A and B are shown apart, each in its own frame.
Chain A
Amino acid sequence: DTGVSQDPRHKITKRGQNVTFRCDPISEHNRLYWYRQTLGQGPEFLTYFQNEAQLEKSRLLSDRFSAERPKGSFSTLEIQRTEQGDSAMYLCASSFGLGERSTDTQYFGPGTRLTVL
């Protein structure tokens, strides 16, 4: 079990640049989540995929954010025209489930820390 992996672990960028993060979930997991965590706060939900379908997006996910999971395996999160307020830890989680997903155990990756200068 290799766990959930995320790449890169750290990213420093200048305001206005685009960034892309990658998440590789646990291989048999069909469900994938993105969360954002800012300093002093708990993680906040951004978006959810079941297999390759993006089924839910938070109001936190502005038009500058886009996420994909093209083959139902790895996922990418892109932020266009980054702003200083985007500085945060971006967490990916995955789970396996066939029924109500409220009861799933979500397994988290180590996160990508984004700093926008």
Chain B
Amino acid sequence: AQSVTQLDSQVPVFEEAPVELRCNYSSSVSVYLFWYVQYPNQGLQLLLKYLSGSTLVESINGFEAEFNKSQTSFHLRKPSVHISDTAEYFCAVSGRLDGGSQGNLIFGKGTKLSVKP
């Protein structure tokens, strides 16, 4: 069955430290990858996405993610986090996953990033 695995449910880090949030997905003929962020008491917001082209994609607030087809991964990284990055981060894929539907996002369980001063 198609799936997205976020290996860490919670990641506590200190401010200005680097962080990596891991995401792996089941193999597919074609796949598009997304990271969404949910700040406390707010809806999901798109952080960045990979559709094609350069395997390294960046967001406007300093996050980046790299699509690695051989490892079926799309890990999210930031070299120096801020208190304001505290949120829950969801990795998602769309596309035909092992016979599944196109277009519907399949989400991981989420990773709660907690940035401490």
Chain A residues near B105 (CB, 8 Å)? Answer: 33, 35, 43, 45, 106
B20-41 Cβ-contact flags toward A at 8 Å (1 or 0) = 0000000000101000100000
Q: How many interface contacts (CB-CB < 8 Å) are there between A and B?
A: 62
Contact-size category for A:
20 to 34
Chain B residues near A93 (CB, 8 Å)? Answer: 44
Known contacts: A4-B43, A105-B46. The answer to whether A45 contacts B109 by CB under 8 A is no
B88-105 Cβ-contact flags toward A at 8 Å (1 or 0) = 001010111000011111
Report the minimal beta-carbon distance from B1 to chain A, rounded to whole angstroms: 12
A75-108 Cβ-contact flags toward B at 8 Å (1 or 0) = 0000000000000000101000000111111111
In B64-117, which residues have CB < 8 Å from any A CB? 90, 92, 94-96, 101-110
Report the minimal beta-carbon distance from A14 to chain B, rounded to whole angstroms: 26
| B contact set with A: CB distance below 8 Å | 4, 9, 30, 32, 36, 42-46, 49, 51, 90, 92, 94-96, 101-110
> Among the interface residues A40, A42, A103, A108, which one has the most CB atoms of the partner chain B within 10 A?
A42
Chain B residue at smallest Cβ distance from A109 = B43
Can you show 7 pairs from A to B with CB atoms below 8 A apart?
Answer: A41-B109, A44-B107, A48-B103, A102-B95, A106-B46, A107-B46, A111-B43
Asked whether any CB of chain B lies closer than 8 Å to the CB of A110, the reply is: yes
Chain B residue at smallest Cβ distance from A107 = B46
| A contact set with B: CB distance below 8 Å | 4, 33, 35, 40-45, 48, 56, 58, 91, 93, 100-111
Chain B residues near A110 (CB, 8 Å)? Answer: 42-43
Instruction: Report the separation of the CA atoms of residues A110 and B95 in the bound assembly, to the nearest whole angstrom.
Output: 25
Chain B residues near A106 (CB, 8 Å)? Answer: 46, 105
By the criterion CB–CB under 8 Å, are B92 and A42 in contact?
yes
Known contacts: A102-B102, A108-B44. The answer to whether A42 contacts B108 by CB under 8 A is yes
Contact of A102 among B32, B44, B90, B110 (CB under 8 A): B32
By the criterion CB–CB under 8 Å, are A56 and B110 in contact?
no
Chain B residues near A100 (CB, 8 Å)? Answer: 102-103
